[in-house]
Chains A and B, each alone.
Chain A
Amino acid sequence: MVNERKKKEKKMMSSEKVLQVNNLKISFRTYGGEVEAVRGVDFDLYKGETLAIVGESGCGKSVTSNAIMGLIPQPPGIIKNGSILFKEKDLTKLSKTQLRKIQGVDISMIFQDPMTALNPTLTIGEQLTEGLRTHKKIGKKEAKEKAIDMLKLVGIPNPEERLKQFPHQFSGGMRQRIVIAIALICEPQVLIADEPTTALDVTIQAQILELFEEIQLKKGISIILITHDLGVVAKIADRIAVMYAGKIVEIGDKREIFYTPEHPYTKGLLNSVPRLDLMEEELQPIDGTPPDLFSPPKGCPFTARCDYAMEVCDYAYPFSTKISETHEVDCWLQDERANVLQAQNKIG
């Protein structure tokens, strides 16, 4: 079923897959027991696209992105199953040394808080060039020129002077630009942005998002955007994956997810965000909290909070249903046997 979907997607979009995540499962051993943080996630990332992974905190989106980046500390983390394919290599099977040839070179990452992501005791220049000099074996002068180019690209004035300065001499927005420059300096194919604008002021958020779009146009990189902010998603994502309790419950094009969401959780997410075009409607928060991942439920994890829950939802996790070539959802409501019920409840 899944393979069929993937084949079709590829044909339809006729673009190259940069990264394939297959049935990834990650757990963490803690004092309280084993937490199943990611419970079987798979998706493909196409060249030049922006895939947004959205969900509440603790849904496993950051763990997934850290796994792609090779940043899961083992122990306590355990990659229990699945693969992350990049350039025909399974990143989960590589040794640390092999991984380091990919980290920062082919795949790089932007962190949430620019105030803590930069080392306070090293100059911007050192932090920009060290990855370049480690991986590309180029001289100091060349690296410096490259660094200046990068700072220009991300819109930092007086780059030559700025290279000698320390992080505390920059504002939050400027620091995030520097973090982006560091992530891009080795010209990676995949950029993972973990909540890149959450810690920033709203006006600066917009600037940073524009910078992302601009860079993507210029460099043709693929971006995985991890966020809980649907406003950010609406602005720059091409496709959206909705994660809940360690699983992707719905994935589709931006329009599909925003205009024809199928999963009750996706609908709930969209209803809990204020929208200018639907002023008269009240905001509807999703009641309840996500399940405890120490002992995840056997069935659909959203059942306890779902307005349309059926008995079957407790017994088994739903099969994937393809809505369109690009749109897929895991929900029992898609089963024809639930149609009767749906009609009764007037789902809107």
Chain B
Amino acid sequence: MAKYILKRFIMMIATILIISTLTFVLMHSIPGSPFDEERTSNPTIQANLEKFYKLDEPMHVQYLYYLKSIVTFDFGPSIKKPNESVNELLARGFPISFELGMVTILVALLSGTILGTLAALRHNGIIDYLAMTFAVVGISVPNFVLATLLIQQVAVTWELLPAATWSSPLHMILPILALATGPTAIIARLTRSSMLEVLTQDYIKMANAKGLSPIRIVIRHALRNALMPVVTIMGTMLAGILTGTFVIEKIFAIPGMGKYFVESINNRDYPVIMGSTVFYSAFLVFMLFLVDIVYGFLDPRIKLHRKEGDA
């Protein structure tokens, strides 16, 4: 297990290094440098930038300083907002985005696995057809489309729920619904197909032959094995939800990090784009690392593979 974790950890560091380097190279390849005086209209900001990016030093020194700043979790200043750094934006916006993302994942995991399992248990039944119709529609409707439709219908036309901001649990329903539908659909489909496969396995037949109750068989024997594929796509799913928060926060005017990120894209606030990209990537890669470890715990074949063959 330790070896497995170490390998994943090295992978994680390598990925973060690559994305940081990529960001650095890309930003410096923008014609006329993003940190030119022409782009910044404010002397304080220019001074901050020069100080942070060591713009008077040669390129490789800049690169090393940049890496050092990432290791120390310092993501640099903003061009557009004087006296404000990416770190401050993160401190303000990220907790909200994190909350949105985490609740979405929980909702998607819970409803997706339940839906998928029910569909598999009632294979070719009404629940199965309904669940799979929902799934294929849910996968096809982009989250921003769903979000705007929800605002238009539920918030504007029917006036059932508030249309914007993040001020109360009631306000959270629509954004979470918009963001969680796609992942729920994907998880439901995957759970269903892997559950159907697991249910044909001999060990399920054997559990039946033991005279165990159906509930015990599904929960104890089938679900854990059926959820393995779901765990493996958690990485892609997290990335999808994270990028989803950008548009959802924009549409629902939620003051999260995603909203700042989209703003920075729209007014070409390059330091903020750089800083948040690196931060987001590091966060995602770290989450992937966690997912891998969870997978290691779920599947005993990974945990103890060194002892194999001593039987």
**Using a CB–CB distance below 8 Å, which chain A residues touch chain B?**
69, 71, 96, 99-105, 108-109, 111-113, 116-122, 130-131, 134-135, 166, 168-171, 174, 179, 182-183
Question: In angstroms, how far is the closest chain A Cβ from the Cβ of B290?
Answer: 20
Most buried by A among B205, B214, B216: B205
Given contacts A71-B209, A102-B211, A118-B206, 12 further A-B contacts (CB under 8 A): A100-B211, A100-B212, A108-B209, A113-B202, A119-B206, A120-B225, A120-B300, A120-B301, A122-B221, A134-B211, A166-B301, A171-B309
| Set of chain B residues within 8 Å of A99, measured between Cβ atoms | 211
Whether B211 lies near A168 (C-beta < 8 A) is: no
Q: How far is B307's CA from A139's CA once the two chains are assembled, in angstroms?
A: 31
Please name 28 pairs of A and B residues whose Cβ atoms are closer than 8 Å in the assembled complex, sorted by A: A69-B209, A71-B205, A71-B208, A100-B211, A100-B213, A103-B210, A103-B211, A104-B209, A104-B211, A108-B209, A111-B202, A113-B202, A117-B203, A119-B221, A120-B299, A120-B300, A121-B298, A121-B300, A122-B221, A130-B216, A130-B220, A131-B211, A134-B216, A166-B300, A168-B301, A168-B308, A169-B307, A182-B210
Contact of A104 among B210, B301, B310 (CB under 8 A): B210
With a CB–CB cut-off of 8 A, which chain B residues contact A108? 209-210
A178 to chain B, nearest CB (A): 10
Residue of A nearest to B224 (CB): A121
Residues of B within 8 A of A101 (CB): 211
B311 close to chain A: CB less than 8 A: yes
Interface string of B185-225 (1 = CB under 8 A from A): 00000000000000001110111111111101000110011
Task: Find chain B residues with CB under 8 A from A166 CB.
Answer: 300-301, 304
Residues of B within 8 Å of A135, CB to CB, are: 211
Which single residue of chain A is at the shortest CB-CB distance from B212? A134
> Which residues of the partner chain A approach B213 to less than 8 Å between Cβ atoms?
100, 134
A100: nearest chain-B partner, CB-CB? B211
Tell me how far the C-beta of A297 lies from the nearest C-beta in chain B, rounded to whole angstroms: 31
A112 to B202, CA, bound (A): 9
Q: How far is the CA of A168 from the CA of B298 in the complex (A)?
A: 14
Chain B residues, CB < 8 A from A174: 311
Residues from chain A with Cβ under 8 Å of B203 in the complex: 116-120
Which residues from chain B contact A96 at a C-beta distance below 8 Å?
214
A272 to B210, CA, bound (A): 37
A89 CA / B134 CA spacing, docked (Å): 45
Give chain B nearest CB distance to A134 CB in angstroms. Answer: 6
Least CB distance from B304 to A in Å reads: 7
Q: How far is the CA of A113 from the CA of B201 in the complex (A)?
A: 11
For the complex, would chain A's binding face be called helix, strand, loop or mixed by DSSP majority? mixed
Interchain CB contact (< 8 A) of B207 among A116, A119, A120: A119
**Cα(A343)–Cα(B221), bound, Å:** 60
Would you call A117 and B311 a contact (CB within 8 A)?
no
Selected contact of A182 from candidates B202, B206, B224, CB within 8 Å: B206
Query: Which one of A96, A108, A122, A171 has the highest number of Cβ atoms from chain B below 10 Å of its Cβ?
Result: A122
Interface centre among B207, B210, B212, B301 (most CB of A within 10 A): B210
Which residues of chain B are near A102, meaning CB under 8 Å? 211
Interchain nearest-CB distance for A177 vs B (Å): 10
Which residues of chain B in 251-299 are interfacial with respect to chain A, using CB atoms and an 8 Å cutoff?
Answer: 298-299
Q: Name the distance in Å between B222's Cβ and chain A's nearest Cβ.
A: 9
Q: Which among B203, B211, B214, B309 has the greatest number of chain A C-beta atoms within 10 A?
A: B211
Instruction: Report B2-19 residues with CB < 8 Å from chain A CB.
Output: none
Closest 5 CB pairs of A and B: A103-B211, A104-B210, A104-B211, A131-B210, A100-B211
**Across the interface, do B209 and A103 meet the contact criterion of CB distance under 8 Å?**
yes
Q: Which residues of B contact A113 (CB under 8 A)?
A: 202
CA A308 to CA B208, docked complex, whole Å: 44
Query: Which B residues are CB-close (under 8 A) to A121?
Result: 224-225, 298-300
Contacts of A119 in B (CB 8 A): 203, 206-207, 221, 225
Q: Who on chain B is nearest to A105 by CB?
A: B211
In the complex, what distance in Å separates the CA atom of A118 from the CA atom of B209? Answer: 12
Is A130's CB under 8 angstroms from B210's CB? yes
| A169–B310 CB distance below 8 A | yes
B213 closest partner in A (C-beta): A100
As a 0/1 sequence over residues 42 to 68 of chain B, the CB contacts with chain A under 8 angstroms (1 = contact) are: 000000000000000000000000000
**Which A residue's beta carbon lies closest to that of B223?**
A121
Contacts of B210 in A (CB 8 A): 103-104, 108, 130-131, 134, 182
Quick check: B212 and A169 within 8 Å, CB to CB?
no
Which of A105, A109, A170, A171 lies in contact with B206, CB distance below 8 A?
A109
Report A236 CB to chain B, min CB distance, Å.
21
How distant is the Cα of A348 from the Cα of B6 in the complex, in angstroms? 72
Complex: A71 Cα to B208 Cα, angstroms: 7
Chain B residues within an 8 Å CB radius of A103: 208-211
Interfacial chain A residues near B301, Cβ < 8 Å: 120, 166, 168
Residues of A within 8 A of B298 (CB): 121
For residue B202, which residues in chain A have a CB less than 8 angstroms away from its CB? 111-113, 116-117
Whether the pair A179, B208 counts as a contact (CB closer than 8 A) is no
Contacts of A117 in B (CB 8 A): 202-203, 205-206
Q: Do A169 and B311 form a contact, CB below 8 Å, given A109-B206, A116-B201?
A: yes
Q: Are A111 and B206 in contact (CB under 8 A)?
A: yes
Q: How far is the CA of A179 from the CA of B202 in the complex (A)?
A: 11
A94 → B minimal CB distance (Å): 12
Complex: A119 Cα to B223 Cα, angstroms: 11
Q: Nearest B residue to A123 by beta-carbon distance? A: B300
A71 to chain B, nearest CB (A): 6
Cβ of A179: which chain B residues have Cβ within 8 Å of it? 206
What residue in chain B is nearest A157 (Cβ atoms)? B311
